[in-house]
Amino acid sequence: MNRSSRLESILGIVSTLVVLLAAMLFASGIAELFSDIHQTGFASIQIAVVLRLVTAWVVSATLHRLRHGIARRTREHLWQLVRRPNGPDVAVLDSAATSVRDGVGVRYLASSAATSLLGLIPVWYFGGWLSAVIFLALIAASIPFYIRAGRAAEQSSAAVASRTALLASTQLRTLDAMGDMRSLGTIEYASERVATASRASAHTNLEGIRVAMGSALITEFIGGAAIGLVAMVVGFDLLHGRRSLEHSLLALLLVVEINARVRAWANAFHQREDAAQGVLRLTEQSIAPVTPAVGPALLTASEVTVPSSRTLVTTVIQAGDRVLITGPSGVGKTQLLRALVGLRAPFSGTSAITARPIGWVQADSQLFTGTLRDNLCVKRPVETSDVLAVLSGLGLTGARFSDLEQVVTSASQYSDGERARLAIARALLADVVLLVIDDVAGLFDQETLHTVANELARHSDLAVLEAAHNRRILGAPTLEISLERA
């Protein structure tokens, strides 16, 4: 047991004993007021209130200091991790660090709950054996319900944390790749991805609130029933003169305090496991070897998977490679492409990419309002002859493509196949080192397919990562990855 854990345990024991004493003083003070012993009664109540306030302040200040210390040490640790090449996802680490910080106080609650059970002795003495047995039986029976409610809250909070981490990761990745996405005309797609993640996060948060309210209702009902039964027992004894007002109040206030501490511990029970898992995740990130893509490697993937496929993808893409991803429709080819290049988090595994800039071509490639030159060059200074040469190499010739100053007012001015070739031209003019092609070969007839394949072959240093659901592809692959359904 480390120093902070010992401090939490001692704090729980001492504070609970003080609170139980304050409850007894408060009950005595109320009884004395009813007996017209005002001076002593008010003094007892004032002492009880002061004891409660001071104890609450000491507990709050101590736990805050412990959390602050944990947070400071964790931030220093995270800073070292995120500075590493291809370091772990910041959002995932932040979730782990939050779990570690929130774990502070669980040992305090456990020791407080255990110590509060000592209050059953005066409950038995002042309220009778029946009150103590009823309360103890209900509390014992309710603990599984408390833990079950805590587990439900844990699953809900885990889902909220996961969605929040995914949203933060999506936002960070989008910002990091903004330059590439602007050059590729995929900013609208990226914005929709962020919006989708935001909506999913909001939905999960609302579901978390619903689960939390349901859990709170269950635990409050059980605790209220236990206290109510004890109140009924001591109340009947009081009415029949078998027990004094002071003893009845003592028994009732003590069971209220005991119930509050047991309920707090049970509801926070799952936080200890969360904290342990958070420490484990941070430790794993500390000792895990970092294998960044260096030298000629443009992209390194290690056991990457997507939700709809069970295939583990491990590969290294270098300059000039032609990698083909195949599989039936809906198997997750597009998801895998996005995971490999960092546009989304993989379901499992890691992907390290050093390729910059990256080109992305998809079946619904978009054009923005502006001149054809702006759509192709995106404000970069490129010689007209170079632009026309690339267009010609892709089979885009004639008056519709020779006038680079013509204004594109709508993407519908061009067919799907023409827009895909314009997106390829945009990528080639940007001197991308890795071109990602998402199932566009089916848009071309055989002659156009041959023309585009020849133009890509001219760029021998260009790495191509292509996905296709059939064998219509833009060039012979040097590596083929076949995805199977999950």
Q: Is the pLDDT of residue 280 over 50?
A: no
- What's residue 465's pLDDT? 92
Strands 407-408 and 370-371 turn out to be: antiparallel
The residue ranking higher by pLDDT, 73 or 6, is 6
User: Do residues 313 and 253 share a domain?
Assistant: no
DSSP state of 323: E
- What's residue 161's pLDDT? 63
Helix (H) or strand (E) holding 287: helix 269-287
Phi-psi region of 128 (alpha: psi -120 to 50; beta: other; left: phi over 0): left
Q: Is the pLDDT of residue 18 over 70?
A: yes
- What's residue 261's pLDDT? 83
For residue 58, is it within any domain? yes
User: Do residues 271 and 308 share a domain?
Assistant: no
Helix (H) or strand (E) holding 178: helix 178-184
Q: Kindly give the interhelix angle for 120-127 and 245-267, rounded to the nearest 10 degrees.
A: 150
The pTM of the full predicted model, rounded to 2 decimals, is: 0.45
φ, ψ dihedrals at 377, nearest 5°: -100, -20
Model confidence over 289-308: pLDDT tens digits?
334 444 468 888 888 888 88
Q: Which of 264, 287, 310 is the last residue of a domain?
A: 287
Interval 439-447 mean pLDDT: 88
User: Do residues 51 and 134 share a domain?
Assistant: yes
Q: Which of 142, 153, 149 is nearest to 227 (CA)?
A: 142
The residue ranking higher by pLDDT, 110 or 101, is 110
CB atoms near residue 168 (< 10 Å): 18
CB atoms near residue 476 (< 10 Å): 9
Interval 358-387 mean pLDDT: 84
Q: 102 is written with which tokens?
A: 């929130």
User: Do residues 172 and 44 share a domain?
Assistant: yes
Q: Which of 232, 258, 287 is the last residue of a domain?
A: 287
User: Do residues 14 and 150 share a domain?
Assistant: yes
Q: Is the pLDDT of residue 49 over 70?
A: yes
118-132, 134-148, 436-450, 458-472: least confidently modelled range? 134-148
User: Do residues 262 and 322 share a domain?
Assistant: no
* Amino acid, single-letter form, for residue 384: T
Look at the chain and report how many structural domains it folds into: 2
Model confidence over 150-162: pLDDT tens digits?
666 666 666 666 6
Q: How confident is the model at residue 29 (pLDDT cuts 50, 70, 90)?
A: confident
Residues 6+ apart with CB under 8 A from 395: 421, 447, 448, 451, 452
For residue 87, is it within any domain? yes
**Residue 247 near residue 130, CB atoms below 8 Å:** no
User: Do residues 305 and 282 share a domain?
Assistant: no
DSSP per-residue letters across 434-479: EEEEES-GGGS-HHHHHHHHHHHHH-TT-EEEEEESSS--SS--SE
Q: Is the pLDDT of residue 356 over 90?
A: no
Interval 352-381 mean pLDDT: 81
67-81, 199-213, 230-244: least confidently modelled range? 67-81
Helix (H) or strand (E) holding 482: strand 479-482
Q: Kindly give the interhelix angle for 3-34 and 245-267, rounded to the nearest 10 degrees.
A: 150
Percent of the chain residues past pLDDT 90, beyond the cut: 10
Q: 233 is written with which tokens?
A: 């027992």
- What's residue 283's pLDDT? 42
Domain with 164, as residue range(s), is 3-287
For residue 292, is it within any domain? no
87-96, 210-219, 231-240: least confidently modelled range? 87-96
Using CA atoms, how far apart are residues 46 and 25, in angstroms rounded to an integer?
9
Q: Which of 353, 361, 380 is nearest to 425 (CA)?
A: 361
Burial group, residue 171, by CB count within 10 angstroms (0-12, 13-18, 19+): middle
- What's residue 258's pLDDT? 84
Q: Is the pLDDT of residue 232 over 90?
A: no
Q: 358 is written with which tokens?
A: 């990256």
CATH number of the domain that residue 198 is part of: 1.20.1560.10
User: Do residues 190 and 211 share a domain?
Assistant: yes
Interval 210-216 mean pLDDT: 63
User: Do residues 50 and 165 share a domain?
Assistant: yes
CATH number of the domain that residue 328 is part of: 3.40.50.300
Q: Is the pLDDT of residue 433 over 60?
A: yes
Using CA atoms, how far apart are residues 462 and 433, in angstroms rounded to an integer?
5
Q: Average pLDDT of the chain? A: 76
Q: Which of 224, 257, 287 is the last residue of a domain?
A: 287
